[in-house]
Amino acid sequence: MRSLARCLWLAVLLPALCARAEIPGFAGGHAKLQATHTLYPEGSLWREALGGSDLDRGAELRLRWQQRAGGWEAGADYQLLTRQRELPALSLAPGAGQPVLPDDDRRWWDLSHEIDRSEDSLTLQRLDRLYAGYSSERVVLRLGRQAVSWGNGLLFNPVDLFNPFDPTAIDTEYKTGDDMLYAQYLLPSGSDWQLVQVQRRDAGGHVSSAVSSTALKFHGFAAEREYDLMLARHFDEVLLGFGASSNLGEAVLRGDMLFADTADGWTGSAVVNAAWSWTWGGRNVSGVLEYFFNGHGLREGDYRVATLAREDALQARLQRGELFTLGRHYLAASLLVEMTPLLQLTPSLFANLGDGSALAQLSLRWDVHQDWQVLGALNLPLGPAGTEYGGVRMGEGVDLATGPALFAQLAWYF
């Protein structure tokens, strides 16, 4: 609790000091306090080892700094993060291999500093943005830690190679930054070229092209439609991407295809979605229906740890945080209902079409007061043991199942 209390105290103190000191370029920030309560059903390995439930608490402070002079710009985002769980240390590393808090073990620059670690808590500070750049009417150049988002997926996004969000994530305000060179050239037609070069370190701490990324994308217009062409070398694999978006009546259709030259040959993934907006009972509503094909997923509904261990391409993408699903065919639907101008409800369903399991989610976004916001979500896994959302099979009668989970977050912006 001491780490969490320290983070909360600094979240109040540091913004006040920055404002009072009138630091040039100080652009505000936010402080967030969140908690997730998860239940574990009978027969789950988590329940046997850790008990029937878990309370995961965390806090974040982000301070932003920006300066512009003519076409030149520079920026930096400082983060103070803490995470505390009721579970022992092994739970601080999720099964997919992603750290519970971002770190710089594999990034080009080590801009993180661990402040405190105990059996059930972790506190660190880091720079999530640190860049300098130049922009003109046609050219944008930026070097340093920053974030880039590509792709037409609204829930699943196979073309977004750089720290994509989990489709079930509630707080998607900031992507984790990577150390990269970003360049954009705008053509007179409105089309543009984008180049991204991301440097990373391998397991030995050495900068290596085998774990780095170089991607070139062209965004163009044709017959009142938009399209994307991408060529990339990503973690020693060649990637080819194609995407498009178009209006169809009252709907907007989007989609992407991605082909990866893996050790087993070329593997394709795809996403296609349709989005609508309308008025329902005097309330504004927008809906999304999306199909996702994960070419790296398991061909059969055999969701056992031993089976997953043999799928190298799938495991690598799960550990890098590029994929969040185990199967091949998914259908997702989501509705955003504006209950009032300050309150939004979003029911969503993520279904694995191969095994019949699903995750139902009800999320809430409430602007309770000027500069204050509440996020909440209820996640409900659906499906029998031995399915993706029902619980990956560990052994006879033992699985990695989770039950309902309740997420709540309070954010203050300054």
Q: Residue range 96-114: average pLDDT?
A: 83
Which of 119 and 184 is assigned the larger pLDDT?
A: 184
Q: Are 386 and 394 in contact (CB under 8 A)?
A: no
The Cα–Cα gap between 37 and 408 comes to: 9
The Cα–Cα gap between 78 and 129 comes to: 7
Token pair, residue 55, equals 């309370």
Look at residue 96 in the predicted model and tell me its pLDDT. 37
Say if residue 17's pLDDT is above 90. no
Residue 76 belongs to what H/E stretch? strand 72-85
Per-residue pLDDT tens digits for 226-250 = 999 999 999 999 999 999 999 998 9
Say if residue 99's pLDDT is above 70. no
Phi, psi of 78 (to 5 degrees): -95, 140
Pick from 31, 19, 24: nearest CA to 372:
31
The Cα–Cα gap between 173 and 358 comes to: 25
Which of 308 and 118 is assigned the larger pLDDT?
A: 118
Proportion of the chain above pLDDT 70, given as a percent: 89
Q: How many CB atoms lie within 10 A of CB 110?
A: 13
**CATH code (residue 366):** 2.40.160.10
Q: pLDDT band at 51, cuts 50/70/90?
A: confident
Per-residue pLDDT tens digits for 299-330 = 876 677 767 777 888 888 998 999 999 999 99
Look at residue 254 in the predicted model and tell me its pLDDT. 98
The Cα–Cα gap between 217 and 228 comes to: 7
The Cα–Cα gap between 183 and 195 comes to: 5
Q: pLDDT band at 263, cuts 50/70/90?
A: confident
Per-residue pLDDT tens digits for 125-182 = 999 999 999 999 999 999 999 999 999 999 999 999 999 999 999 999 999 999 999 9
For the chain, how many structural domains are there in total?
1
Question: Model-level pTM?
Answer: 0.90
Look at residue 23 in the predicted model and tell me its pLDDT. 77
Look at residue 165 in the predicted model and tell me its pLDDT. 95
Q: Are 92 and 72 in contact (CB under 8 A)?
A: no
The Cα–Cα gap between 138 and 167 comes to: 34
What is the pLDDT of the chain when averaged over all its residues?
A: 90
Residue 93 belongs to what domain range? Answer: 2-413
